[in-house]
Amino acid sequence: MAVPLVLLSIGVAHADSNDDDFVQQVNNIGVIGPPANLINNAHQVCQFLGHGGTRDSAANSIASQMGFPPAGAASFVSISITHYCPQYGG
């Protein structure tokens, strides 16, 4: 059963250097948006993975919900994992 990945647009109280680096990296792959939204979406990826979702499922959800091409969505998921939930890397 697929678990939908719900992407939020809630503000973040403050950004740190990890957040800044994350936003820069996703901007570099062509993912542009309000930094708070990008960061929150990355945290949603981690929560999704924490509930048993797969990287592929997360990328598919990102692709469909945010309109990213599959490669861009997969990159967004990978960068999210690197910055916010490295325990799901590998």
Is the pTM higher than 0.75?
Answer: yes
Burial class (CB in 10 A: 0-12, 13-18, 19+), 69: exposed
- Going from N- to C-terminal start, the domains of the chain cover 33-88
Please state which of the ranges 17-21, 63-67, 81-85 shows the lowest mean pLDDT: 63-67
pLDDT of residue 12: 44
Measured in degrees and rounded to the nearest 5, phi and psi for residue 3 equal: -100, 120
Amino acid at 2: A
Residue type, 64: S
Q: How far apart are CA 75 and CA 73, in angstroms?
A: 5
